[in-house]
Structure 1
Amino acid sequence: MNNVIYEKINLNPNLPALLGYFGKENTDVKRHYYIHSHWHRSIEINFVTEGELMGFINGKSISAKSGDFVLVNSGDVHEFEKYQGKLCGVVILVLSYDFIKKVYPNIDSIQFDIMNSNCKKDRLQEIFLEIKEFSLNKNELDYIKINSYIYEILYILLTNYRIQKEDNYTNNYFKYKERQKEILIYISENYKKELTLEHISKHFYMSSEYFSRKFHKWFGVTYKAYLNNFRLSKAYEDIINSDDNIQDIASFHGFSNIKSFISVFKQKYNMTPLKYRKYFKASKNNQKENKKWKQ
């Protein structure tokens, strides 16, 4: 994903939703994947088919294992991560807000809580496994069956996992989301510059202490940790996809010096950037050789 903060959902053709599957069948297990903090008005449901999915929703850490659902309500700020070398299979369904609004006009007064519910999820799991198969083995008329699944999923959500929002919840909620969006956009557009805590808090007319406290509450990490992780995720792509000098990559993506970049990189990947590049290229070459032998 690019520097997306408010994410506009591009729906699948003939469907009021975006759906897909990401797992060992169609992604590189050895790669690290990180989806930056963002939000959208659509409702997103992730079903973990294998491995583990890590992330944050509204500043709260989540860890979902095989068989678990992770539901992101409209407006929730969320990010997800899959570590290199670890399996993680996820079926993703993002339901259009406009579609839900037409089917259930009172959508703005409710939200869904599937993760803390004791209701059985057998039927939902069956449907999402079917969606996985549709994603891997596409057919011209699949959308007809998938549309029926979407209506059934929405019915299950409304009958089993619906909870009422408090009065004035919606207006306050999206007011704060707008401020969060502004902060994340500012970081994504200026992360290559020297973005000290003092600089960004002054930009948003807050004291450093207040900004730091709010940032941690909203996103679940400190401002420094978020900025380093954002810069690192951008530098990571250049590490594995180019032969550029490591120091040049670090400088280009906002790290003040090569020492700090290597330190942050090692904390995440347990090796230096140069060693990781060699490791990643060697693993890619091994995969190519294995494919040749199988053929």
Structure 2
Amino acid sequence: MRNIYEIKYLKRSATKYRNHVGVSFFVVLKGKAMIPVKDVSTFYEEGDTFIVKHNECYKLDVREGNIVVQIHFYKSLIETMVPELLCNHSHVTTQSEMIPLRNQLIYLCSLYLTQENDRNFKIMKQIIAILEIYKGQLHIDNEDSSNMYKDVNPIIEEIRNYIHEHYNERITINTFTNKYRLSESYFSKMFKEQLGVNFKDYLTDIRLLNSIYDLIHTCEKIIDISEKHGFYNVSAYIHAFKLYYGVTPKKYRNMIQNKHAQFERQNFFNEVDNERNLTLEEIKFYLRKFKQKYTKTLCIYA
């Protein structure tokens, strides 16, 4: 069942925002974590649960030595079982309301470690239970739901993923028209129909979005941030930023950092884009410890 879900234990952080495909549930098993979605950063404590929805742009920062478990349900599974989750929606935000969902997620993690003959059957039942609980907490925005159901052209999906991975490199519309042998007019029309925005604005938005993280959480110079995130000169960066956000990057940084204490970057791994794999014994240990502290009614398999 690896093609419909995945469980990962994260100890390190992503370097770039990613366009999320599918739905991911996260539980902080140990310590703290921070997740920036768009330009809003939220901190989570041990025992907290949070969710990244379909088509959200996000990063994940995990403090050194701390652990977050990610239970990711692939788009193919969501489309088959609960397609409403691919729509624009809101969900419960208080951690007390998330406890039933968190407990079921931890139980799924424990089931994954078993070697019983009916393991896959139990896992599938548990996945259904999780999706049903989450569905019951949703408020669907019907105004946008029709657009969210529309399938994205595989070429556009591939291009979007490429942009998120290589946004800081030199990318032009010809990068893709040449590769896919499309005319510029046809490509531009298809891109805007599929994503609701033209190619140039989408690329600029991703570059600005990634730059905001460094504006808020580092002391890097504006010129260095502009070059780091794909702008050919600092003037172009400042112009684009002011056009999108109404203020210059420097003023934006001052506004945010005056409201909140500067993020302690040195306490987080933000320079690598992978996680150190935990051993099976470590996973069992942390799940068992989490169960003892937060979910005493659940059975964590040894």
Q: Which runs of 4+ in 1 moved over 6 A?
A: 172-175, 178-181, 210-214
Matches for 1:83-162 after TM superposition, within 5 Å: 83=63, 86-114=64-92, 116-117=93-94, 120-135=97-112, 137-139=113-115, 141=117, 142-159=119-136, 161-162=137-138
Match of 2:49 in 1: 69
Match of 2:2 in 1: 12
Match of 1:282 in 2: none
After superposition, what is the alpha-carbon deviation per residue over 1:250-272, rounded to whole angstroms, capped at 9, x for unaligned?
A: xxxxxxxxxxxxxxxxx9559xx
Identify unmatched segments of 5+ residues in structure 1: 1-10, 24-31, 231-266, 271-295
Q: Taking every aligned residue pair, what percent have the same amino acid on both sides?
A: 13
Deviation at 1:200, TM superposition (A): 7.8
Match of 2:19 in 1: 39
- Report which stretch shifted further, 124-133 or 217-226: 217-226
Match of 2:140 in 1: 164
Q: 1:63 to 1:219 in 2, by over 3 A?
A: farther
After superposition, what is the alpha-carbon deviation per residue over 1:32-78, rounded to whole angstroms, capped at 9, x for unaligned?
A: 53353212331111111111112211332121111111211110011
Q: 1:180 to 1:77 in 2, by over 3 A?
A: farther
Match of 1:29 in 2: none
Secondary structure of the residue aligned to 1:121 is helix
What letter is aligned with 1:111? H
User: Superposition RMSD on alpha carbons, in Å?
Assistant: 4.4
What letter is aligned with 1:92? Q
Instruction: Provide TM-score, normalisation by structure 1.
Output: 0.51
Q: How many residues align?
A: 201
What letter is aligned with 2:100? R
What letter is aligned with 2:47? G
Q: 1:205 to 1:69 in 2, by over 3 A?
A: closer
Secondary structure of the residue aligned to 1:120 is helix
Q: 1:168 to 1:82 in 2, by over 3 A?
A: closer
Secondary structure of the residue aligned to 1:139 is coil
Q: 1:211 to 1:167 in 2, by over 3 A?
A: same
After superposition, what is the alpha-carbon deviation per residue over 1:12-49, rounded to whole angstroms, capped at 9, x for unaligned?
A: 16xx31223346xxxxxxxx533532123311111111
Deviation at 1:179, TM superposition (A): 9.3
8 Å contact 2:18–2:59 — kept in the other structure?
A: yes
Structure number with the bigger relative contact order (C-alpha 8 A, sep ≥ 6) is 2
What letter is aligned with 1:87? G
After superposition, what is the alpha-carbon deviation per residue over 1:91-130, rounded to whole angstroms, capped at 9, x for unaligned?
A: 211112232222234444452424x246633322222222
Instruction: Provide TM-score, normalisation by structure 2.
Output: 0.50
Identify unmatched segments of 5+ residues in structure 2: 176-197, 216-221, 231-263, 268-302
Match of 1:26 in 2: none
